[in-house]
């Protein structure tokens, strides 16, 4: 929205390259025939390093096996902010492609001088540069003569899509062999020399303050090194992990806590969200040129609960002090952003801190990775320079990490006499969806709120619509309703900690919009596919709907106990297009039998990687919709293990089919968040189809279906 039109006269550098123009920060050549490529984006289980390696190999005309991908670190990597929002291929990919194109040109220029032939007559094959008369040289031969310590210029044009050899092909992911052969790649499996183990003591009751701490028995534990206390932050350090666990149990016995802060009533989230103090923003408004005559108004309310990241690994970090300098190893999504917050808490210049990325388990947003990094830094202060590894418990991971925000969404639609939508009003009540580190004058790290002189707890905010919005993400309809108003009420208190979880508000909004559309279509007796197509003008949107419908043989004949639903969204209204058809069965416990999706991400760099992300997103969304809900009483989070917070199991996973619409001429966009909204709504619509009841409160459990039936007119 409102982006200035690019000026055709002056080519511009990709944003991330303009911010990090030095070419040597992106790639380096070795005389031994290797290229090290150093993106600022990080692997979080989504396959980004492979896609970036493909882009680099393509643009440089080298075999991908020559590319060595370097993990991001504040010591050397370009600063590409946070790896989130399905933007890595867009942002980092574009910068990488441009940087490599320019580097190739620099090499060709030098080769042209050395070989005495015109640059235009030179070609590159796997790094060997050759020209007329069999003259050859190579990147590797010239590597020591070329300095890449120079700034990128906007003049070099990357190759056209038709000349790329690797992009568009399903290259095997470069990290997978390590993972099936159990070679240490995860931070959890790493050990530094002389490493110690730490554990942090946190209250059971939300935000309770530590008023007393007796550590009598702790010191007798074998390998005991230190107890650390700073205000309400407390922890232990031991020689072994096993000792640290034992010490934590002992420390817990000697801890005295004051009362915590009350939590809302989980049985009526909408009432809590609507009553809490909030700040209102009009997100978008469209006025009809000639308003239609309203016959009646339909009003529906939808909710989604708090959702946990629930990564399979608890968060982990390592830290090592050397005087007033500290080195941190983390699976954070943003090494520079974490460094900024660490500097705030430690009151150190950022240059004193190195933050280095290592892979963690699948990351779906702002989880506890950053929190545990500060925990490790604080505990490591006491060890005389020995590194400390801290790993959270499953319980901590499920209760102390930020959650995806609960949402209440109310939509009113004015219909004319023909049942056509003439006005649409969409209101959201929710905590903000982002409280990430490194973006404010105060830190966003948990221990920062607990130390003796604590920073105020950060209240989540929402990114602006131009960046995709937060609570309001995907709230502006893509349909051609003549008028609408979209408003967002962001809570200004935050009893339950929320921050970025995959799709931010998009899953809730798409669930609400697409559910309501099916209800309106049903009232009109109109087919949901036809209804959507009739209200869309964007052909790429229509194409994914048609493709998903066709592939799912929409609409199969009615069978008892089986339902079919369709839904569509374009992620952030600017990203990937995705349509999903769900086939479900059951009357109480719903089983999703099959999901059929069609997706358009523009140029798919690694098609199988895109399909993998879409399949994964579809299955995760099924889990959210059928099972997931953070549980709490008035004192504490109670869903702290896999029994209390169940996720989808192998026996419950639907068959998933994905059709990828390749558009190699279009800019690539990310795929990681495209499926959640459409799949959530398609399942709800399939339940409506099967049972004739609209379940408007997630998750779609037996309990919520019964409640919906009782409320139905």
Partner 1 sequence: MPSVRFRLNGVEMDVDADPDRSLLDILRGQLGMTGSHFGCGAGECGACNVMIGDRAVAACDTPLWSVADKDITTIEGLGTPERPHPLQRAFITEQALQCGYCVSGILMSAAALLKRNPKPGSREVKEALDGNLCRCGSHNRMVRAVLRAADEMAAE
Footprint on this chain of partner 1 (rule: CB under 8 A): 44-47, 170, 172-173, 175-177, 179-182, 184-186, 188-189, 191, 240-242, 310-314, 359-364, 391, 393-394, 608, 612-613, 615-620, 623, 641-643, 647-651, 653, 655-656
Q: Give the shortest CB-397-to-partner 1 separation in angstroms.
A: 9
Distance CA 397, CA 309 (A): 9
Nearest to 484 by CA among 410, 417, 414, 531: 414
Say whether 466 sits in a helix, a strand or coil. Answer: helix
Q: Angle between the 607-627 and 506-524 helix axes, to the nearest 10 degrees?
A: 80
For residues 708 and 706, what is the distance between their CA atoms, to the nearest angstrom?
5
Report residue 189 as tokens. 């499996």
| Token pair listed for 713 | 């007119």
Residue (of 254, 257, 243, 135) closest to 199 by Cα position:
243
**Closest CB to partner 1 among 351 and 642?**
642
Q: Report the candidate in 30, 36, 27 with the shortest Cα–Cα distance to residue 78.
A: 27
Cβ nearer to partner 1, comparing 76 with 184 = 184
Nearest approach, Cβ of 652 to partner 1 (angstroms)?
A: 9
To partner 1, the closest distance from the beta carbon of 58 in angstroms equals 20
Give least dist CB 608 to partner 1, A. Answer: 6
Q: Identify which of residues 519 and 652 has a Cβ nearer to partner 1 in the complex.
A: 652
Report the residue number, 247 or 344, with the smaller CB distance to partner 1: 247
Closest approach of partner 1 to the CB of residue 567, in Å:
18
User: Locate tokens 């997100």: which residue?
Assistant: 283
Pairing of strands 135-138, 128-131: antiparallel
Q: Is the Cβ of residue 2 or residue 220 nearer to partner 1 in the bound state?
A: 220
Pick 93 or 672: Cβ nearer partner 1: 672
- Please choose, from the candidates 352, 342, 357, the residue with its C-alpha nearest in 3D space to the C-alpha of residue 321: 352
Residue 237 is inside which H or E element, if any? strand 233-238
Q: What share of the chain is helix, strand, coil (3-state, %, to 5)?
A: 30, 25, 45
Comparison of 47 and 575: residue with beta carbon closer to partner 1: 47
For the CB of residue 694, give the shortest distance to partner 1 in the complex, in Å. Answer: 26
Beta bridge partners of 581: 566, 596
* 3-state secondary structure labels for all residues of 579-598: EEEEEEECCCCCEEEEEEEE
Cα separation, 238 vs 242, whole angstroms:
8
Distance (Å, rounded) from C-alpha 623 to C-alpha 401? 19
- Asked if 670 contacts 662 with a C-beta cutoff of 8 angstroms, the reply is no
Q: In this complex, which beta carbon is closest to partner 1, that of residue 15 or of residue 191?
A: 191
Least distance (Å) between residue 639 CB and partner 1: 13
Query: Which of 17, 167 has the CB closer to partner 1?
Result: 167
Closer of 321 and 364 to partner 1 (Cβ): 364
From the CB of 613, what's the least distance to partner 1, in Å?
Answer: 8
Closest CB 592 distance from partner 1, rounded Å: 12
Q: How far is CA 671 from CA 327, 500, 503, 676, in A?
A: 33, 17, 11, 10
Q: Residue 82 CB, nearest distance to partner 1 (Å)?
A: 18
């Amino acid at each position: 929205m409102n982006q200035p039109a690019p000026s055709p006269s002056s080519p511009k550098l990709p944003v991330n390259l303009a911010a990090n123009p030095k070419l040597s920060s992106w790639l380096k050549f070795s005389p031994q025939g290797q290229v090290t490529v150093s993106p600022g984006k990080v692997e979080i289980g989504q396959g980004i390093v492979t896609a970036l390696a493909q882009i680099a190999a393509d643009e440089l005309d080298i075999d991908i096996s020559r590319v060595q991908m370097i993990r991001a670190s504040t010591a050397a990597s370009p600063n590409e902010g946070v790896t989130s929002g399905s933007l890595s291929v867009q942002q980092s990919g574009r910068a990488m492609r441009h940087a490599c194109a320019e580097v190739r040109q620099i090499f060709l220029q030098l080769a042209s001088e050395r070989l005495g032939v015109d640059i235009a007559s030179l070609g590159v094959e796997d790094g060997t540069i050759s020209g007329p008369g069999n003259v050859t040289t190579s990147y590797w031969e010239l590597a020591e003569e070329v300095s890449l310590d120079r700034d990128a210029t906007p003049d070099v044009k990357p190759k056209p899509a038709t000349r790329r050899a690797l992009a568009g092909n399903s290259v095997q992911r470069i990290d997978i062999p390590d993972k099936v052969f159990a070679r240490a790649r995860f931070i959890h499996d790493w050990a530094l020399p002389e490493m110690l183990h730490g554990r942090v003591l946190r209250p059971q009751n939300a935000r309770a303050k530590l008023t007393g701490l007796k550590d009598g028995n702790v010191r007798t534990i074998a390998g005991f090194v230190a107890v650390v206390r700073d205000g309400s932050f407390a922890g232990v350090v031991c020689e072994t992990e096993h000792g640290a666990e034992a010490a934590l149990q002992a420390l817990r016995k000697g801890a005295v806590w004051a009362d915590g802060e009350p939590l809302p009533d989980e049985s009526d989230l909408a009432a809590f969200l609507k009553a809490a103090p909030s700040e209102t923003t009009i997100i978008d408004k469209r006025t009809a040129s000639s308003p239609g005559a309203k016959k009646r108004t339909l009003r529906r309310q939808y909710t989604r609960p708090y959702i946990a990241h629930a990564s399979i690994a608890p968060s982990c970090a390592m830290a090592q002090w050397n005087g007033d300098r500290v080195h941190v190893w983390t699976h954070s999504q943003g090494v520079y952003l974490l460094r900024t917050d660490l500097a705030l808490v430690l009151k150190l210049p950022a240059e004193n801190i190195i933050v280095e990325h290592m892979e963690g388990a699948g990351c779906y947003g702002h989880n506890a990775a950053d929190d545990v990094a500060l925990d490790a830094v604080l505990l490591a202060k006491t060890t005389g320079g020995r590194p400390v590894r801290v790993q959270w418990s499953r319980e901590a991971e499920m209760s102390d990490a930020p959650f995806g925000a609960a949402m209440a969404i109310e939509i009113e639609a004015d219909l004319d006499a023909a049942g056509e939508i003439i006005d649409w009003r969409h209101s959201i009540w929710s905590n903000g969806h982002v409280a990430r580190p490194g973006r404010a004058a105060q830190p966003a790290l948990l221990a920062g709120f607990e130390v003796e002189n604590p920073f105020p707890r950060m209240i989540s905010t929402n990114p602006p619509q131009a960046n995709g919005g937060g609570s309001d993400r995907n709230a502006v309809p893509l349909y051609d309703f003549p008028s609408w108003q979209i408003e967002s009420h962001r809570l200004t208190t935050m009893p339950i900690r929320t921050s970025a979880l995959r799709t931010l508000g998009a899953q809730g909004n798409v669930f609400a919009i697409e559910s309501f559309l099916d209800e309106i279509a049903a009232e009109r007796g109109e087919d949901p596919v036809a209804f959507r197509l009739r209200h869309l003008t964007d052909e790429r949107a229509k194409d994914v709907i048609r493709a998903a419908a066709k592939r799912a043989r929409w609409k199969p004949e009615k069978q008892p106990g089986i339902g079919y639903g369709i839904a569509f969204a374009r992620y952030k209204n600017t990203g990937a297009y995705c349509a999903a058809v769900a086939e479900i069965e059951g009357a109480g416990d719903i089983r999703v039998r099959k999901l059929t999706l069609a997706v358009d991400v523009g140029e798919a760099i690694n098609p199988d990687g895109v399909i993998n992300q879409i399949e994964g997103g579809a299955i995760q969304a099924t889990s959210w919709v059928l099972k997931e809900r953070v549980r709490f009483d008035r004192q504490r989070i109670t869903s702290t293990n896999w029994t209390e917070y169940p996720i989808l199991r192998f026996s419950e996973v639907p068959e998933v089919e994905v059709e990828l619409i390749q558009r190699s001429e279009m800019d690539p966009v990310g795929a990681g968040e495209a499926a959640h909204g459409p799949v959530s709504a398609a399942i709800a619509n399939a339940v409506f189809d099967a049972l004739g009841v609209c379940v408007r409160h997630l998750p779609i459990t037996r309990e919520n279906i019964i409640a919906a039936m009782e409320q139905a007119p």
